């Protein structure tokens, strides 16, 4: 098989596009290809159409036939009194059952799968055997379904396919299973393991007990998983995915406690986030921890030798760093692969590597998290320490006076408002005002209006000033991730239908951070019913993991997720937004095989 261009697993999932068969049926079956033994009762010509009435000899029923653009030979074949075998798709119309353009055939019990080209057909016949699939590690029940599709298709399979335009559930499940099985198995086989710089064995229990609040079960579970990683003989790679407001910072700090007295380095994407983490670390870590902060704005000298925790931005990548047994990257998707790899290499020690934790506040579909486990261990934090009270509403142009009244009411309570625009400057392509066009209106009507956007070099400074003194923030999605604005209770998202649901969820997560009654307004001019329905679905749930699955379905790319497969590749059958049962089944099979010392 090695010399073939099509990988074996791709051959398995290269399903037939149809089936050639002439199985004699006793009764006509609506919605599928039929082969029937009939007698022509009568035939009539209407212009270019030949209308035929057949009697089905095996059942005694009647069936109409229609031949469009008939030829002279059709009148001879379908002459009244003739008995013959005909083949064609049976459909129902106002006059009963009929076959359009029936052809004569010979009955046969053979069913032949039809492929997109002859090469695939030949490869299936040569290589797709029980023995080869067993060697590949596929369980028997899946092999049976695959053979039923490719090698020995039954009339039941063909009938289901022709009536429904898709394969029966057991075969569809098998195709999904093989795809997930190959991906996870192949990914695992390519992972290289390294010894850790240090086994990190400090218990976090005393520190957890000292906190002024209880951690959620999900936080405790993530900490326990990390603790197990730290005590292994392999440098771990784990991503912790927390929903907005799930308290992932406490899991970060618990990891640092477990690394004590060894060094930990924590990298954040912006100075403002690094400073927030620095404040949290000083607030919650034991007083004997030596904590340093390194950003482009750091003015005091930073001791890069004698610390327990170094928190920094990209600035840490351009300094001589000591060996550190623990590296943590917060908001990991905001860094490129090169940045993350460089930090790991900076603090490595020969073949030994640091334990490497990545944290993300962008929920992913649960199925994706399980598949991610093939190449990086994954923890999910779904529980929220306190339930946010956020009311989500869809607004249209007619609702603007109501919105203005709400903004004034919130400002009177010393609360803050963020208005998120889809673009900075005017554009003819978008039916919404830009940030620059709207600035004058808000400044004429309100005091304490601040403005920033992604390309604004002073955005971090402006966000800090707004946090202390502002009423209204006009911005683009720059406020999407991580920034703490305790007084922010209202967010208005202009052109909400233009954003993915995951981004909307991140933006909504900026409000209600301290338990205040909060509001998320989705402003749209769209009249598209699908767009409105999508926003309505979003408004109904606050769970980021459910929203991630919804987002995937709405993008109509239910099988492609950045980070799972290489750019340009997709899963052909597996749907990441919903096929969690398939992935669980694959993982179980791989664990069974592993425990039996099979070569997986």
Q: What is the pLDDT of residues 358-391, one digit of tens each?
A: 998 877 777 777 777 767 888 989 888 877 789 9
Q: What pLDDT does residue 333 have? A: 64
Do residue 131 and residue 272 come from a single domain? no
**Has residue 483 been placed in a domain?**
yes
Do residue 225 and residue 314 come from a single domain? yes
138, 11 Cβ separation under 8 angstroms: no
CA distance 600 to 591: 10
Q: What is the pLDDT of residues 132-177, one digit of tens each?
A: 999 888 999 999 999 999 999 988 998 899 889 899 999 999 999 9
Res. 568 pLDDT band, cuts 50 70 90: very low
Tell me the CA distances in angstroms from 163 to 24, 104, 259, one per residue in order. Answer: 17, 22, 61
Res. 242 pLDDT band, cuts 50 70 90: confident
Q: What is the mean pLDDT of residues 45-59?
A: 93
Q: List, in order, residues 6 or more apart from 200 with CB less than 8 Å away.
A: 230, 231, 258, 259, 262, 325, 326, 355
Is the pLDDT assigned to residue 426 strictly greater than 80? no
Two structure tokens written together for 54: 């057949």
CA distance 99 to 30: 10
CA distance 319 to 304: 9
Residue 369 CB coordination number (10 Å): 20
Do residue 128 and residue 221 come from a single domain? no
**Has residue 467 been placed in a domain?**
yes
Chain centre to alpha carbon of residue 21: 40
CA distance 32 to 10: 28
Q: What pLDDT does residue 561 have? A: 39
Two structure tokens written together for 442: 């808000």
Is the pLDDT assigned to residue 563 strictly greater than 70? no
What value does the mean pLDDT of the chain take?
Answer: 86
Q: What pLDDT does residue 148 have? A: 93
**Has residue 258 been placed in a domain?**
yes
CA distance 278 to 284: 10
Which of 75, 104, 133 finishes a domain? 104
CA-CA-CA-CA torsion for 391, 394, 396, 398, nearest 10 degrees? -40
**Has residue 195 been placed in a domain?**
no
HEC profile of 153-199: CCHHHHHHHHHHCCCCHHHHHHHHHHHHHHHHHHHHHCCCCCCECCC
Higher pLDDT, 301 or 564: 301
Do residue 75 and residue 46 come from a single domain? yes
572, 174 Cβ separation under 8 angstroms: no
**Complete DSSP assignment for 459-522:** HHHHHHHHHHH-SEEEESGGGSSS---TTEEEEEEETGGGS-HHHHHHHHTTS-TTS--EEEEE
Q: What pLDDT does residue 457 have? A: 76
Do residue 563 and residue 548 come from a single domain? no
Total tally of structural domains belonging to the chain: 4
490, 407 Cβ separation under 8 angstroms: yes
CA distance 503 to 508: 9
Two structure tokens written together for 14: 């290269």
**Has residue 52 been placed in a domain?**
yes
Q: What is the pLDDT of residues 481-526, one digit of tens each?
A: 556 788 999 999 999 998 888 889 989 988 987 788 999 999 999 8
Q: What pLDDT does residue 277 have? A: 93
DSSP structural state of residue 301 = P
* CATH number, position 260: 3.40.50.300
Res. 90 pLDDT band, cuts 50 70 90: very high
288, 256 Cβ separation under 8 angstroms: no
Do residue 315 and residue 438 come from a single domain? no
DSSP structural state of residue 571 = -
107 CB-contact burial (10 Å; exposed 0-12 / middle 13-18 / buried 19+): middle
Which of 360, 381, 402 finishes a domain? 381
**Has residue 197 been placed in a domain?**
no
Do residue 377 and residue 394 come from a single domain? no
Do residue 400 and residue 545 come from a single domain? yes
**Has residue 199 been placed in a domain?**
no
Of all residues in the chain, what percent carry a pLDDT higher than 70? 92
Two structure tokens written together for 97: 């059952």
Axis-axis angle for helices 529-540, 544-554 (nearest 10): 170
Is the pLDDT assigned to residue 34 strictly greater than 60? yes
Higher pLDDT, 564 or 81: 81
Which of 381, 405, 433 finishes a domain? 381
Do residue 539 and residue 451 come from a single domain? yes
Q: What pLDDT does residue 488 have? A: 93
Say if pTM beats, i.e. exceeds, 0.95.
no
Phi, psi (deg, nearest 5) at residue 200 = -105, 110
Do residue 255 and residue 372 come from a single domain? yes
My answer on whether omega of the bond before 578 falls inside 30° of 0, hence cis, is no
DSSP structural state of residue 46 = E
Do residue 277 and residue 419 come from a single domain? no
Q: What is the pLDDT of residues 395-415, one digit of tens each?
A: 999 999 999 999 999 999 999
Is the pLDDT assigned to residue 593 strictly greater than 80? no
Do residue 369 and residue 449 come from a single domain? no
**Has residue 198 been placed in a domain?**
no
Domain that holds residue 229: 205-381
Chain centre to alpha carbon of residue 208: 33
């Amino acid at each position: 098989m090695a010399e073939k261009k099509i990988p074996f697993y791709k051959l398995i999932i290269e399903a037939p596009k149809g089936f050639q068969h002439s199985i004699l049926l006793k009764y006509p079956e609506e919605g599928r290809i039929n082969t029937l033994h009939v007698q022509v009762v009568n035939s009539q010509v209407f212009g270019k159409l030949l209308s035929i009435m057949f009697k089905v000899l095996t059942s005694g029923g009647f069936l109409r036939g229609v031949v469009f653009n008939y030829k002279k030979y059709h009148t001879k074949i379908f002459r009244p009194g003739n008995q013959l075998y005909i083949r064609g798709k049976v459909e129902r119309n106002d006059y009963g059952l009929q076959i359009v353009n029936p052809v004569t055939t010979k009955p046969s019990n053979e069913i032949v799968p039809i492929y997109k080209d002859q090469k695939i057909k030949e490869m299936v016949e040569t290589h797709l055997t029980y023995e080869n699939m067993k060697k590949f590690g596929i369980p028997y029940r899946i092999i049976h379904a695959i053979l039923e599709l490719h090698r020995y298709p039954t009339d039941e399979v063909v009938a289901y396919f022709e009536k429904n335009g898709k394969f029966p559930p057991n075969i569809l499940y098998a195709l999904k299973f093989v795809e997930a099985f190959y991906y996870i198995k192949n990914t695992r086989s390519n992972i290289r393991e390294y010894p850790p710089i240090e086994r990190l064995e400090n218990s976090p229990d005393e520190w957890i007990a000292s906190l002024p609040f209880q951690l959620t079960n999900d936080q405790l579970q993530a900490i326990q998983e990390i603790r197990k990683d730290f005590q292994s003989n392999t440098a771990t790679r784990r991503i912790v995915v927390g929903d907005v407001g799930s308290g992932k910072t406490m899991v970060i700090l618990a990891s640092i406690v477990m690394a004590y007295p060894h060094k930990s380095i924590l990298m954040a994407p912006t100075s403002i986030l690094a400073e927030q983490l620095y404040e949290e670390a000083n607030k919650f870590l034991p007083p004997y921890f030596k904590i340093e902060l390194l950003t482009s704005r750091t003015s005091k000298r930073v001791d890069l030798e004698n610390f327990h925790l170094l928190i920094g931005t990209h600035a840490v990548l351009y300094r001589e760093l000591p060996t550190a047994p623990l590296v943590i990257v917060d908001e990991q998707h905001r860094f490129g692969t090169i940045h993350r790899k460089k930090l790991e290499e900076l603090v490595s020690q020969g073949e030994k590597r640091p334990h490497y934790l990545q944290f993300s506040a962008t929920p992913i579909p649960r199925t994706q998290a399980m598949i991610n486990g093939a190449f990086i261990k994954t923890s999910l934090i779904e529980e929220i320490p306190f339930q946010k009270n956020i009311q989500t509403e869809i607004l249209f142009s007619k609702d603007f006076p109501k919105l203005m009244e709400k903004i004034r009411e919130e400002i009177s309570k010393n609360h803050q408002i963020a208005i998120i625009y889809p673009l900075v400057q005017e554009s003819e392509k978008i039916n919404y005002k830009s940030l620059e066009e709207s600035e004058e209106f808000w400044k004429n009507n309100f005091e304490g209006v601040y403005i920033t956007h992604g390309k604004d070099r002073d955005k971090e400074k402006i966000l800090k000033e707004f946090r202390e003194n502002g009423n209204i923030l006009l911005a683009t999605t720059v406020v999407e991730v991580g920034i703490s604005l305790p007084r922010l209770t209202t967010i208005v998202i202009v052109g909400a239908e233009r954003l993915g649901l995951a981004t909307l969820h991140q933006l909504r997560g900026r409000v209600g951070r301290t338990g205040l009654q909060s509001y998320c307004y989705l402003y749209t001019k769209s009249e598209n019913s699908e767009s409105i329905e999508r926003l309505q679905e979003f408004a109904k749930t606050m769970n980021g993991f459910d929203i991630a699955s919804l987002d995937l379905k709405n993008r109509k790319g239910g099988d492609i997720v950045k980070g799972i497969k290489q750019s340009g590749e997709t899963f052909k059958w597996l749907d990441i937004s919903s096929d969690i049962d398939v992935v669980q089944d694959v993982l179980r099979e791989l664990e069974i095989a592993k425990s039996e010392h099979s070569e997986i």
